[in-house]
Structure 1
Amino acid sequence: MSSKRHSILPAVSAGPKPPVHFSSSITIAESALLTGTNLITISSESVIHPRAKLDSLAGRITIGRRCVVHERTMIGAIGTSGKVTEQAVTLGDYATVEVAASIEAGNTIIGEGTTVGVGSKVGAGAVIGKHCTLTPHTEVPAGEVIPDFTVIYSNGMRRIDKRGVADLKNKGQARQIDVLRRMIPTNPAKFA
């Protein structure tokens, strides 16, 4: 019988450790990955799930208050041009980035109360208005400007959301954050 030895490989750094500015009330999973050379700011009561990646190599990342960034997301991805210049990503208050979504750096703005759906991609320099919804697997091309309250479907169809439920969505987000804060072990000091 041959005996196989399994060894555990040492942890490999995924890149430089970025400067950070965190509110004292954030929840950030220890397995979140923060890399880059520019400032990453996360405002009060925001939640960063396990295995979310924030990469500030291309520019600063600013996450507003009461945002939720789900697992396997990529915020700050370098766009298809591959250029690394000072290009920011900003998430407005109450924004949600769902599982496996990608937001490219390029002075990209996700407006207040906007939801970026599962597996969606927002191109570099896109500006998404307030209270928009990108349904799962939607792609917003680089540089596109989306008006407030727009719903974009993965097949490219669009409509304006006239339900007037922004305040209700924000209250629901606050309740979800209260639950997540109890479920996700947090250690912001790990990233400082």
Structure 2
Amino acid sequence: MSSSSSKRHSILPPTSTSGPKPPVQFSSSITIADSTVLTGSNPILISSESVLHPRSRIDSLAGRISIGRRCIIHERATLGSVGTSGRITERGVTLGDYVTVEVGASVEAGDTVVGEGTVVGVGAKIGAGAVIGRNCTITARSVIAAGEVLRDNTVVYSNGMRRVDRRGVAELRKKGQARQIGVLRMMIPSNPGKFQ
């Protein structure tokens, strides 16, 4: 083997994109994939039966991250990202119970609140300081502006249109979420000890 060939093989890619290790407080019943990224210096709290998919990212550099019970954070979803201004706000993110943050969605830090039973769709963005009511649906690729307030049961479409959902299906959605979590717990190998 030539010396240039051995040099190529001796250089390994980084194993992690981690920063400082944050203080964490987990329920014993969470499911957190080994490839989930937790970083930052403020506390990260994850309540019972919540699921963090592989490659999801929780960043507590800007403030405390609190994830309610039976939440699902999908692949490449980010909680606690710093907004486009790049300012560190010292304020975090709070997710109520039964919240789903779908693939590639982003929830910026800044006292941002996502209410119980809300779904943040694929690739959607919730701006810093936004307050999302209970049982809202933020459809794929929608953007909620920084500091915006949405009342309960609001549906936001990617073209900016909105309506109030009057179907009254919140309890059915919770039951569906609980079933989905049961399946995910069997599918995703969990390793909470890695992060503590």
* Superposition TM-score, scaled by structure 1 size: 0.96
Residue 109 of structure 1 aligns to a residue whose secondary structure is strand
Are positions 1:11 and 2:15 aligned together? yes
Are positions 1:50 and 2:54 aligned together? yes
Are positions 1:23 and 2:30 aligned together? no
Question: Any residues of structure 2 matched to 1:79-158 within 5 Å, and which?
Answer: 79-158=83-162
Stretches of structure 2 lacking an aligned partner (at least 5 in a row): none
1:168 to partner: Cα distance: 0.1
1:12 to partner: Cα distance: 4.7
Residue type at the aligned position of 1:172: G
Are positions 1:169 and 2:173 aligned together? yes
State how far apart, in whole Å, the 2-side matches of 1:116 and 1:42 are. 18
Q: 1:10 to 1:78 in 2, by over 3 A?
A: closer
| Deviation readout 1:8-30 (Å, 9 max, x if unpaired) | 23435521000000000000000
Identity %: 67
CA RMSD after TM alignment: 1.4
State how far apart, in whole Å, the 2-side matches of 1:170 and 1:14 are. 33
State how far apart, in whole Å, the 2-side matches of 1:139 and 1:181 are. 30
Are positions 1:62 and 2:66 aligned together? yes
Task: State the match for 2:41 in structure 1.
Answer: 37
4+ residue segments displaced more than 4 Å: none
Provide the aligned length of Structure 1 versus Structure 2.
Answer: 192
Task: State the match for 2:75 in structure 1.
Answer: 71
Residue type at the aligned position of 1:162: R
Task: State the match for 1:178 in structure 2.
Answer: 182
Residue type at the aligned position of 2:105: A
Task: State whether residues 17 and 37 of structure 2, in contact with CA within 8 Å, keep that contact through their aligned partners in structure 1.
Answer: no
* Superposition TM-score, scaled by structure 2 size: 0.95
| Deviation readout 1:121-152 (Å, 9 max, x if unpaired) | 00000000000000100000000000000000
Task: State whether residues 89 and 109 of structure 2, in contact with CA within 8 Å, keep that contact through their aligned partners in structure 1.
Answer: no
State how far apart, in whole Å, the 2-side matches of 1:111 and 1:37 are. 24
